[in-house]
Structure formats: structure tokens, C-alpha cells
């Protein structure tokens, strides 16, 4: 079973890129972030023609997450619990049916948090606290769980081309990295670190300042696994070549293969 995450940076603007990659990689489940559209404007028919059902939590012009599945699935949670006033579309969770078991897959788009010292950074840290509480409950179910998405957190200095360049960015603040580590301390596994762990393997290159040709990237797209999912992890791949294609997203897909 192949589960992937892909921040598409507008699903309608990048639809040809997405469809090309789906045909190439043949994932079973894909978590999309920054779809930047409401549900009625999501390209559902094109996705269905590619062989996938769509589960969507959209928002006009900003944010928005979706899960595509070739397997039977049901929505388990829309929106991150813990704040009824939060209307940002950043979290969607489904249960995917496999013979004899279910796999829970959550798609998340963590807040960016910039600039630091503002309410945006406070929101980022508060969102991560809510996520930790929710994940604690999910782990108590003792089932395969995959949390896949754009986490907007650079876990290690080696996950960016220059720690100095990111020192004042919310993605690399000690508080942000500590929030990520607290989730791992609950029992989650960083899929990339479990299989590879090499430094300077990036998932995002900014459109500005020639970041892509200079390989000035960062690793912020992660799959975090419960013990029941980590035990079945076989391979992780960063689809780096996707970034070099015409009208590409500034992120690339990351996939994990499991022996479910």
C-alpha cells in the first residue's frame, strides 16, 4: 500500500502536474494540501477519471486539504478538534478499508506561523497543541495511523540548506521543532528518518531567489506513523524530479510504502 502527501499549491492550477504524478506513482491514498478552493470547485471528475475518490475540506482561495483514495474509505474527522472558532481548513481524517483491517489516514496542513512574535506564530503553536491532544486519543486506538502533510516544521539543521538562513523563520524556531518532537515522543515515527534519515533531502524549494536551481531547499513534508503503521513501513520516496516540471508546485510529493 502506498500512501503519499503532496502540497499542490492550488489543485486547479496544478491539475495537469497532479494527474501526471498520479499516473506515474500510482499511490493508493494521497493527502493534498493547499488545494485553495471550496469543495464545489474541486476537480472531482478529473480525479475520478484517474481512479480516485475524493474527500475534501476546502476553503476559498486559501488552505484546504483533500484525501484521494483508490480504496474504500470513510470520513472520520473534518477539522482539527479543540477550537470551534477555527475555520481554517487544515485537517481531514479518513478510515481506509483493507481486507481484515482499517488504516486511519490524516491529511494536515500545519500553520506557517510567520512572522514570529505575532498572532500567527501563537496560532501555529496552539494548533500543534491541539494536534497533540488529538493524536494522543488516536494512538489509544492502537491501529495503523498515518499523519501525512505539510507540517511547516524543519525538524533538524540538516533538513535545510542553511540553518543560518532560516534562523528567524517560524518553521525553524525551537518552539516549532519542540512541538514536532513532542509528537514523536508520543510514539510516532518520522517515516523518512526510519528508512533513510539522510540530510539535505528536501521537499520544498521556494519560487524566489533561484532556490530550485541552487538546491536551496527544506524538508517540511512528513509522514508520521503510529507503531502499528511503522512496523509495516517498507520504503519512503521523495519525488524530487516533480519540482523541475513546468508550472510545478513549490513542494514535491513524498510517498511511503507499507506491507499491509
Per residue in 51-104, pLDDT tens? 999 999 999 999 999 999 999 999 999 999 999 999 999 999 999 999 989 999
Given pLDDT bands bounded at 50, 70 and 90, which one contains residue 169? very high
Identify whether 215 is a catalytic site residue: no
- Residue 132: per-residue pLDDT: 98
From the candidates 91, 109, 169, 190, give the one annotated as an active-site residue: 109
Would you call the peptide bond into 115 cis, given omega within 30 degrees of 0 as the criterion? yes
Handedness of CA 140, 142, 143, 148 (dihedral sign): positive
Q: Tens digit of pLDDT for each residue in 102-121? A: 999 999 999 999 999 999 99
> CB–CB of 169/220 below 8 Å?
no
State how far the Cα of 134 lies from the Cα of 82, in Å rounded to an integer.
8
> Would you call 161 a catalytic residue per the annotation?
no
Please say if 202 is a catalytic residue: no
Find the catalytic residue in 52, 134, 159, 251: 251
In percent, the amount of the chain with pLDDT more than 70 equals 100
- Judge whether 113 and 88 are in contact, CB under 8 Å: no
CA atoms within 13 A on the CB side of 245: 18
- Mean pLDDT of the 37-55 span: 98
Annotated binding site for Mg(2+): 7, 34, 150, 152, 250-251
Which DSSP helix (H) or strand (E) runs through 256? strand 254-258
Contact 83, 92 (CB under 8 A): no
- Out of 3.40.50.11540, 3.90.180.10, 1.20.1090.10, 3.60.10.10, the CATH code matching 2-258 is 3.60.10.10
In tens, the pLDDT along 218-230 reads: 999 999 999 999 9
Domain boundaries, the chain: 2-258
pLDDT score for 239 = 98
Q: Which of 28, 150, 221, 257 is catalytic?
A: 150
Amino acid at each position: 500500500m502506498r500512501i503519499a502527501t503532496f502540497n499542490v499549491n492550488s489543485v486547479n492550477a496544478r491539475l495537469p502536474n497532479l494527474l501526471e504524478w498520479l499516473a506515474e506513482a500510482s499511490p493508493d491514498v494521497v493527502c493534498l494540501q493547499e488545494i485553495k478552493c471550496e469543495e464545489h470547485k474541486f476537480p472531482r471528475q478529473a480525479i475520478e477519471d484517474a481512479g480516485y475518490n475524493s474527500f475534501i475540506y476546502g476553503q476559498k482561495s486559501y488552505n484546504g486539504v483533500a484525501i484521494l483514495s483508490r480504496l474504500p474509505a470513510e470520513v472520520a474527522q473534518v477539522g482539527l478538534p479543540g477550537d470551534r472558532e477555527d475555520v481554517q481548513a487544515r485537517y481531514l481524517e479518513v478510515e481506509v478499508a483493507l481486507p481484515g483491517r482499517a488504516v486511519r489516514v490524516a491529511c494536515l496542513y500545519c500553520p506557517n506561523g510567520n512572522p514570529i512574535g505575532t498572532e500567527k506564530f501563537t496560532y501555529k503553536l496552539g494548533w500543534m497543541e491541539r494536534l497533540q491532544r488529538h493524536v494522543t486519543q488516536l494512538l489509544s486506538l492502537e491501529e495503523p495511523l498515518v499523519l501525512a502533510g505539510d507540517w511547516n516544521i524543519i525538524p533538524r539543521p540538516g533538513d535545510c540548506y542553511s540553518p543560518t538562513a532560516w534562523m528567524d523563520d517560524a518553521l525553524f524556531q525551537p518552539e516549532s521543532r519542540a512541538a514536532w518532537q513532542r509528537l514523536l515522543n508520543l510514539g510516532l515515527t518520522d517515516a523518512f528518518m526510519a528508512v533513510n534519515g539522510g540530510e539535505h533531502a528536501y521537499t520544498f524549494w521556494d519560487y524566489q531567489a533561484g532556490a530550485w536551481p541552487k538546491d536551496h531547499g527544506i524538508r517540511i513534508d512528513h509522514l508520521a506513523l503510529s507503531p502499528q503503521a511503522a512496523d509495516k513501513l517498507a520504503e519512503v520516496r521523495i519525488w524530487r524530479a516533480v519540482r523541475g516540471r513546468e508550472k510545478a508546485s513549490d513542494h514535491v510529493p513524498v510517498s511511503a510504502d507499507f506491507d499491509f
